[in-house]
Amino acid sequence: MDTIIVTSPASKRSRNSSVILTDRLCERRVAKRVKVYDRKCPGLYVSITTAGVATFSFKFTDRQTGKQRTGWLGVYNPETFTVEDARSKVYGLKGMGTEALAETFRDQKAAQARRGKTVSGIIEERIDWMKTPLKKPDGEMRARLEAWENTASHLRRFLGARLGKKLAREVTKNDIATLSNDIVAGKFGNPSVSNARHMRKAASALFNWAAEAGRDYVSASPCINLPKLDAEHARTRVLSEDEIGIFWHGLDDEDLMRSWDRRTLLALKFELVTMLRSSELLGAHRDELVNLDGENPRLDVPLKRVKKRRVIQQPLSDLAVEIIKEALRGSNKQFVFASPLGDQPLHRKAMADALRGDKRNGKVRTPGICQLLGLKPFTPHDLRRTAATLAGDLGLTTHGSRNASITPPARRPRPSCQLSPARFISTPSA
């Protein structure tokens, strides 16, 4: 005898019916989604959608909480999972006992939640993990991965923008390779092999982290056997003597530089004079200045700001002291190159932004220093390279991986701050 589902009038809410489930019932078409409980196997029910998909579930009472719980059993398939298969599964679950049954479905629900994580979801969880403060060897509490902001930027700008809504476990190596190719082709702004390389590195670390025991968001990383990227060419931009003069005196032109904060301009000068990295000098604190008015002034850069995690005692030339004193003049802030937004250092991108200017949608809103002075574009790090090149031209040699130390021939190492661009900036360029 066939079982017929009778729909209730539209004005009344339909009730869940209870019948003896059959395979034919699971294959019927319905006008709206319905649940049908099995009279033969209490707790078993099938949910049938308007698309014709029938899903078996099992409802039971969790004795620990006193609440009803629902466990998903599977989707009806006339060849692989029928009504009798669903009943057999429920009978087996009931034989486990209520407590074991509840625990089984708790584990199943947790596993389903892990499998259902989107790429955006694991990106944000990864970022929270990276920036969690930990005690470092010097005793300070800092982020677990101190360069987390750069990694977060590559994950959000590229991986999240393209694959954010996709389930993490469904991402394939073809998705990563296609994204990488699109970055190189310029579909995310200017073509950049470097951005593609950094995206791959960040994505690989993300998926390896997501596959670790305890997370299991993915079974394996899709960032394997990817096509090799083209080799990147090392940057070689070095300012000429004429460019140094134009740049140095141009920074003192108040009318020309009115769009840019004076301390940002001084920080650029300081990088050229000392060869310190931007990250090393921007966080300079008053307490790190030693004997500023004495014979041997210096800036002590703590290891947390140094790339190789070692303390730098940077001697300061007269010109470097002059720059620092101007930056401190009229300021009660604790940072030498303080932000105009408060008692905090300039943003890590402030110098680069000042050089290249502010652009939105390809249109220049605020011209950068290079454009204002008619100079070929360069970066803050190019100033450091320029100073190192000048040292070599003067017969000095840089040694080690750090350009901030230079060694005159047959003499003890002497700090780079003794190198002054005065020979190139004594008179303004015509």
**Side chain identity, residue 165:** K
pLDDT at 2: 40
**Mean pLDDT, residues 139-153 taken together:** 90
Residues 108 and 133 placed together within one structural domain of the fold: no
Matching residue, tokens 């041997």:
296
What distance separates the 2 farthest-apart alpha carbons in the chain? 106
Q: How confident is the model at residue 411 (pLDDT cuts 50, 70, 90)?
A: very low
196 vs 235, residue with greater confidence: 196
Closest among 163, 177, 180, 171 to 217, alpha carbons compared: 171
Query: Are 240 and 248 within 8 A, CB to CB?
Result: no
Which residue shows structure tokens 């190192």?
388
Q: How far apart are CA 327 and CA 331, in angstroms?
A: 8
pLDDT at 112: 56
Asked if 100 and 37 sit in the same domain, the reply is: yes
Lookup: tokens for 210: 């997501």
Are residue 88 and residue 132 in the same domain, yes or no? no
- For the domain that residue 36 is a member of, what is the CATH number? 3.30.160.390
Is residue 228 a part of any domain in this protein?
Answer: no
Is residue 10 scored above 80 in pLDDT? no
Q: What's the confidence (pLDDT) of residue 47? A: 92
- Judged by average pLDDT, the poorest of 39-48, 103-112, 254-263 is 103-112
pLDDT of the residue at 269 = 95
Please choose, from the candidates 102, 111, 153, the residue with its C-alpha nearest in 3D space to the C-alpha of residue 131.
153
pLDDT in tens, 257-307: 999 999 999 999 999 999 899 989 999 999 999 999 999 999 999 888 888
The pLDDT of residue 50 is above 60: yes
Which pLDDT band, with edges at 50, 70 and 90, does 382 fall under?
very high
Examine the domain organization and report whether 306 and 326 are in the same domain: yes
Give the pLDDT score at 415: 38
Range of lowest pLDDT (1-10, 19-28, 88-97, 379-388): 1-10
Higher pLDDT, 97 or 132: 132
Tell me: pLDDT of 408 over 60.
Answer: no
CATH number of the domain that residue 335 is part of: 1.10.443.10
If asked whether residues 253 and 199 sit together in one domain, one would say no
Report if residue 187 sits inside a domain: yes
Number of other CB atoms surrounding residue 152 within 10 Å: 20
Residue 356 lies in a domain: yes
Which range is least confidently modeled, 316-325, 391-400, 405-414? 405-414
Sign of CA dihedral 232, 238, 243, 249: positive
- How would residue 13 be classed by pLDDT, with cut points 50, 70 and 90? very low
Quote the CA–CA distance of 309 and 301 in Å, as a whole number. 10
Q: Which residues contact 168 (CB under 8 A, 6 or more apart)?
A: 117, 118, 119, 121, 122, 207, 210, 217, 218
List the one residue out of 376, 411, 382 whose CA is nearest residue 396: 411
Kindly provide the b/e burial profile for residues 343-372, where b requires at least 16 CB atoms within 10 angstroms of the residue's own CB: eebbeeebbebbbbbeeeeeeeeebbbbeb
pLDDT at 376: 95
Instruction: Say if strands 289-290 and 298-301 run parallel, antiparallel, or are unpaired.
Output: antiparallel
Write down the pLDDT at residue 348: 87
Q: Quick one: 150 and 168 in the same domain? A: yes
Whether residues 24 and 156 fall in one domain:
no
Partner residues linked to 397 by β-bridges: 407
Q: In this structure, is residue 312 part of a structural domain?
A: yes
Helix axes 262-274, 318-328, angle to 10 degrees: 160
Same domain membership, residue 141 and residue 108: no
- Domain ends where: 61, 90, 112? 112
175 and 246 housed in the same domain: no
Contact between residue 16 and residue 36 where contact means Cβ atoms under 8 Å apart? yes
Measured distance CA(324)–CA(299) in Å, rounded: 10
- Alpha-carbon distance of 120 to 91, in angstroms, equals 39
> Does 348 map to a domain?
yes
Domain boundary among 156, 189, 210: 210
pLDDT for residue 44: 92
Continuous segment of H or E residues that includes residue 402 = none
Q: What's 118's DSSP letter?
A: B
Q: Which two tokens stand for residue 241?
A: 């003597």
Q: Calculate the average pLDDT of the chain.
A: 83
Give yes or no for a contact between 48 and 41, defined as CB atoms under 8 angstroms apart.
Answer: no
pLDDT the model gives residue 417: 38
Round the CA-based radius of gyration of the chain to a whole number and report it: 33
Q: What is the pLDDT of residues 233-261, one digit of tens each?
A: 777 899 999 999 999 999 999 999 999 99
pLDDT at 399 > cutoff 50? no
Return the pLDDT at 190: 86
Q: How far apart are CA 177 and CA 202, in angstroms?
A: 14
Whether 215 is in a domain gets the answer: no
Domain match, 338 and 278 both? yes
**Helices in 302-405 by DSSP H: which ranges?**
318-328, 350-356, 369-373, 380-393
Section 375-400 average pLDDT: 80
Whether residue 204 is predicted with pLDDT greater than 90 in this model: the reply is yes
**Mean per-residue pLDDT for 85-98?**
82
Task: Please name the residues in contact with 313: beta carbons below 8 A apart, sequence gap of 6 or more.
Answer: 298, 299, 300, 301
For residue 256, the model assigns a pLDDT of 93
Instruction: Answer yes or no: do 103 and 137 share one domain.
Output: no
Q: Give the pLDDT band of residue 222 (cuts 50, 70, 90).
A: very high
Q: How many domains does the chain have?
A: 3
Say which residues have a Cβ less than 8 Å from residue 249's Cβ, sequence separation at least 6.
Answer: 425, 428, 429
pLDDT at 300: 93
pTM: 0.60
The boundaries of the domain holding residue 107 are 17-112
At residue 406, the pLDDT reads 33
Residues 294 and 406 in one domain: yes
Residue 229 belongs to some domain of the structure? no
66: CB partners within 8 A, 6+ apart:
none
Asked whether the predicted pLDDT for residue 7 surpasses 70, the reply is no
| pLDDT band of 400, cuts 50, 70, 90 | very low
Please say whether the beta carbons of 368 and 350 come within 8 A.
Answer: no
Q: What is the DSSP letter of 312?
A: E
**pLDDT tens sequence across 415-426:** 333 445 555 554
- Residue 255 counted as domain residue: yes
What is the predicted pLDDT for the residue at 110?
A: 56
E-strand stretches of 139-179: 141-143
**For residues 184 and 192, is the Cβ–Cβ distance under 8 A?**
yes
Q: How far apart are CA 140 and CA 149, in angstroms?
A: 19
Give the domain-ending residue among 72, 96, 112: 112
